[in-house]
Structure 1
Amino acid sequence: MESTAPGGTPVPAGPPHGAPTDGAVPGDWAAAYPAGYPVVESDRLTRFVQRAHARTPRWVVPLAAVGCVAAGIGYTLLSDPTRSAPDALPTCLLKLTTGLDCPGCGGTRALWYVLHADLPAAARHHFLFVFALPFLAYLFVAWAGRQAFGWRLPELRIGPKLIGGFLAAWLAFSVVRNLPWPPFTALYV
């Protein structure tokens, strides 16, 4: 029994004669499925997305990501988060409902100060954001350079333990900055 792959190509029900039967036939996408598994014809939208993906230049996705980052930076520069009125309501839902600083509170102000080259003020508002920013920037440049131009920059080895340690430090920072006793009150934003 044969079924058809997207595009109308016939796909045999099982692996070809003499091929390994462990379920993986090199170069045959249908071999990943068990023998006799029905292959469903792709719908028009899926075929359109697949064709668009195949025709899209390599540099489009990094350019779109740069556009998103630029939009965030532009918003930060235009809104000037450091000049809010003292009696203004907080825009953070957690701070509005509980009065506590959330894990991201101060991040926009920290970005504003980084963009104005005031690192001490940026670190005062969100130390971990300022600490992580060079690493995030390097990871982005390495990814975008590889995607758009084929660059092979040295990779940062970031394993699950390092990510877990950073998230644990971020959680501890989020708790400590809400403690009402000195010296922790200096972290309150």
Structure 2
Amino acid sequence: MDTVVVQDTSASSLERALSAAGVAVMSAGAFAIWYFEPAKSGLFPACPLYTITGFACPGCGLTRGFHALFHGDITAALGYNALIPLFLLIFGFFFLAMLLVAVRGRAFPRWSISLGSLWGLLFLLIGFGILRNIPAYPFTLLFP
């Protein structure tokens, strides 16, 4: 006779508490970005790479872009950082996964991302960082 072992994939109370804390922190951060004007408030730090070198990293403009996006200005958000839809998907996925763990004790079903996908994402970010710092049109449109 075959025996079937069912593995319990529900989260422990510590995991649920940490997920709830993560949801609270992400919500507070999103509220702060929505409420405070990033360019005027002085609350948000400047990009260290841009401050030191004058080169924009792939994440430069995300805070101002999310502020514009939260206020419904999609064109301005894309002007600050053209990769904002990608970052929105990544942040949204992690927010939803943590919310599911906090509320029901389980996140999405387990799936793995291939190493090739991670390398692709890395090369996309590096390529975008290089292209947005080329001081010639049309690349200047990518600079925040």
- Bin the TM-score by the shorter chain: 0.7 to 0.9
Q: Once the two structures are superposed, what CA deviation does each residue of 1:90-121 show, in whole Å capped at 9, x if it has no partner?
A: 82222222211122210101111121122222
**Structure 1 Cα separation of the partners of residues 105 and 86 of structure 2:** 28
RMSD (Å), alpha carbons: 2.7
1:68 aligns with 2:19: no
Moved more, 122-131 or 151-160: 151-160
**Aligned residue number for residue 117 of structure 1:** 72
Q: 2:131 aligns with which of 153, 167, 176?
A: 176
Q: Secondary structure at the match of 2:83?
A: helix
* Deviating 4+ runs (over 4 angstroms): 154-157
Mark the structure with the bigger radius of gyration: 1
Equivalent residues of 1:95, 1:102 under 8 A apart: yes
**Aligned residue number for residue 87 of structure 2:** 132
Equivalent residues of 2:23, 2:98 under 8 A apart: no
Q: Secondary structure at the match of 2:113?
A: coil
Equivalent residues of 2:16, 2:101 under 8 A apart: no
Moved more, 175-184 or 114-123: 114-123
Q: Calculate percent identity across the aligned residue pairs.
A: 30
Q: Once the two structures are superposed, what CA deviation does each residue of 1:54-85 show, in whole Å capped at 9, x if it has no partner?
A: 8x46531121001111221132133312447x
Q: Secondary structure at the match of 1:164?
A: helix
Q: Secondary structure at the match of 2:134?
A: coil
The structure with higher relative contact order (CA 8 Å, sep 6+) is 2
1:108 aligns with 2:63: yes
TM-score by length of 2: 0.74
What is the count of residue pairs matched by the alignment?
131
Q: Once the two structures are superposed, what CA deviation does each residue of 1:18-38 show, in whole Å capped at 9, x if it has no partner?
A: xxxxxxxxxxxxxxxxxxxxx
**Structure 2 Cα separation of the partners of residues 143 and 132 of structure 1:** 17
Q: Secondary structure at the match of 1:102?
A: coil
**Aligned residue number for residue 164 of structure 1:** 119
**Structure 2 Cα separation of the partners of residues 68 and 93 of structure 1:** 22
Report how far residue 149 of structure 1 moved: 0.6
Equivalent residues of 1:142, 1:155 under 8 A apart: no
Moved more, 179-188 or 91-100: 91-100
**Structure 1 Cα separation of the partners of residues 81 and 110 of structure 2:** 26
State the AA in 1 paired with 2:23: V
**Structure 2 Cα separation of the partners of residues 156 and 116 of structure 1:** 34
Structure 2, gaps ≥5 residues long: 1-11
